[in-house]
Structure 1
Amino acid sequence: MTDTSKLNKLVDIWKGRLLDAQMGHYIQSEKMGCRANWIGGAIIVFTVGITAFSLFEVPDKYDELGRWGLAGASGLVTILSAIQTFYKPGEKAEVHRAQAARYGAMKRKLEMAHGEDVDGLWDLRTTIRNVEKEWEGVALDSPLTKFAVIKEVESKKKILAEIKEKGIDRKAEKALKKLCTDTNELPL
């Protein structure tokens, strides 16, 4: 195996791994963002409800139930606010999105260096070394992605491979777009 073919094989493997990491972080970012939106929405709805119903007069026979209902809703708002404050799903979503973008940038660097007519192998080797150093830094800064997300990436890759193998028709193209909405790109 020649030096060029070894480098090409390495670049292909790395591009696949970078795509997996990118997709995983985008998926995790979408999930965390969705959680942040749901928790924030629930806090708003319950807070408005508590404020409105605390000013509302209820008949005496429902007074006890109303007080317990407001107390329960207040407790729920407190718990949701604590989750939002300490769990920070919105901030975690942004960190995952930024990491996905960094993995995507590294993948593009490899693609550009791999696709260009390089003057010898020096440029490709230099790019590989630079990407390797950058990758180590990004990996240290990256938050963990759940195992379920890794399995989801593998599942999407299988579906994409099948679609690629059979060719894309209009129905498959719609399915592919729906499949890739979490990753914000079509990795074909």
Structure 2
Amino acid sequence: MKELDTHHKLAEINSIKVLGDWLDRCKNARDGHYKRAETLFYRSQTLGYILIYATVFVTVFSFFPIDTKSIIFWSITKQHILVLTGCISAVISGIVTQARYGERAEIHRSSGARYANLARLIELLELKVSSGVIDNNEITKQSVEIITEWNTLAKDSLLTPHNESKLQLTFHVLIALIVSALFFIVASSTQAAT
């Protein structure tokens, strides 16, 4: 009888340890998805507002006559600024369409909520095990349900990066700066030629 009680206590301690590990992993996944959703939502909002302002700028100033002889700086005229702003609007529009930041943010938010729900199920099972109000068959049954839900959730969730690639972002910014510099160089050489 004493050996059976010892075996039951060991199984209970092992179950609590496993459930604690599951809970930590589930909370980390939840937090990762929520953080990624916030990042993507912020990018979506920022690029959206920049796109709105750039488009309004180009639209409004395209109705005014532009003095192509008036140089602002380094042989750059107002028309060059207007064309560059229009190009920036087109690029941002393409980025917003291609990257789908808003859509991806919503998917991550939904995955984070599902992981939060799974964490609550694990906490409830952990509470039942630690208080001794559940038998081993029910522990096994609920554990299998949690594993099944977790596997389904893992298949449906987008990946959350461990470290967002700053190199990739830097590369895109560098390309944008090179294109802008080339634009101004071509604009100044065109202006000098006329």
> What amino acid does structure 2 have at the position aligned with 1:48?
V
Stretch of structure 1 that moved more, 101-110 or 120-129? 120-129
Structure 2 residue 20 is the aligned partner of structure 1 residue 12: yes
Match of 2:69, SS?
helix
For 1:166-181, list aligned pairs within 5 A: none
Alignment match, 1:103:
115
Deviation track 1:56-100 (CA, whole Å, cap 9, x = no partner) reads 233453387222222111111111111111110111111111111
Aligned equivalents of 2:136 and 2:86: distance in 1? 66
Query: Are the counterparts in 1 of residues 20 and 126 from structure 2 also a CA contact under 8 Å?
Result: no
Displacement of 1:3: 1.3
Work out which of the two has the higher radius of gyration on C-alpha atoms and give 1 or 2. Answer: 2
Identity of aligned residues (%): 28
Structure 1 runs not aligned, ≥5 long: 150-188
Unmatched segments (≥5 aa) in structure 2 = 1-6, 165-194
Taking the aligned partners of 2:127 and 2:64, their CA distance within structure 1 comes to 69
Q: Is residue 32 from structure 1 mapped to residue 15 from structure 2 by the alignment?
A: no
* Regions of 4+ moved over 6 Å: none
Deviation string 1:127-153 (CA, Å, 9 cap, x unpaired) is 21111011111111111111226xxxx
- State the alpha-carbon separation in 2 of the partners of residues 68 and 47 from structure 1: 15
- Asked if structure 2 preserves the Cα contact closer than 8 Å seen for 1:30 and 1:93, the reply is yes
1:71 counterpart residue number? 83
Query: So what's the TM-score if we normalise by structure 2?
Result: 0.71
Per-residue Cα deviation, 1:109-162 (whole angstroms, up to 9, x for no partner): 11112213533133322221111011111111111111226xxxxxxxxxxxxx
Q: TM-score w.r.t. structure 1 length?
A: 0.74
- The Cα RMSD (Å) is 1.8
* Residue 127 of structure 2: aligned partner: 115
